[in-house]
Amino acid sequence: MAAPDSLAREIVYGWLAGVDPLPAEPADVVLGLGHFDREIPRLCAELVRAGRGRWIVFSGGVGAGSGDFGQPEALEFRDEVRRGWPELEARIAVLETRSTNTGENLAFATTALADARPDLYPGSGMRTALVVATPCRLRRALATVRRHWPEVRVAGVRPERTLAEEEALYARQGLTLRAQIVGEIERLVAYPARGFIVPVEMPADVRAAARRLGARV
């Protein structure tokens, strides 16, 4: 029997938002990828504060995921750190403010690191990174980082939110989470052939649930 939509959403969301075990040693960089989700910079700050990472990189300009931000996402993230953990602002190594999508996040952050912090350049000064993204975007974010920074060992971290909480976050921006997760699944299937991300193996139950929601996969 086909899963009802509610179960299908849970299956797809749970897979997209899957996290990795944190490494035992502090990561060289905590990379916060731009989005209207203000929990991203808060989580980045908490990871550094807890000794899980050494430096913060925020990447995000103004794009489809900026929501109601009044300035580039990276600057909103910096301001969130200033408000909650002002002592950690000095741990922000790079603010990349030009990118409009996830691929540009990585491409432009790489250039910014080369210019401003060559000691943290991927593969030399940066060997490990924690990638922080909004839950339903996390799997694609990791696949994008692995495409651009193959020499860096990465682990994904995301804000702890249930499906209902994530749906409410999107609804406050006038968006539906269902459309977002369907789009994420379709991008994970299409993007490897375009060179945007590394291939990602999708479990059969996730693919079936995504089809139930209308994904063309």
DSSP track, 178-214: HHHHHHHHHHHHHTGGGTSS------HHHHHHHHHTT
Cα–Cα distance measured from residue 100 to residue 66, given in angstroms and rounded to the nearest whole number: 9
Query: What confidence score (pLDDT) does residue 3 get?
Result: 53
For the record, the structure tokens of 74 come out as: 């990276």
pLDDT in tens, the chain (217 residues): 445 889 999 999 999 999 989 999 999 999 999 999 999 999 999 999 999 999 999 999 998 889 889 999 999 999 999 999 999 999 999 999 999 999 999 999 999 999 999 999 999 999 999 999 999 999 999 999 999 999 999 999 999 999 999 999 999 999 999 999 999 999 999 999 999 999 999 999 999 999 999 999 9
Cα–Cα distance measured from residue 78 to residue 69, given in angstroms and rounded to the nearest whole number: 13
Are residues 169 and 38 in contact, defined by beta-carbon separation less than 8 angstroms? no
Cα–Cα distance measured from residue 105 to residue 119, given in angstroms and rounded to the nearest whole number: 19
Query: What confidence score (pLDDT) does residue 71 get?
Result: 95
CATH domain 5-17+24-212 topology: Rossmann fold (3.40.50)
DSSP state of 34: P
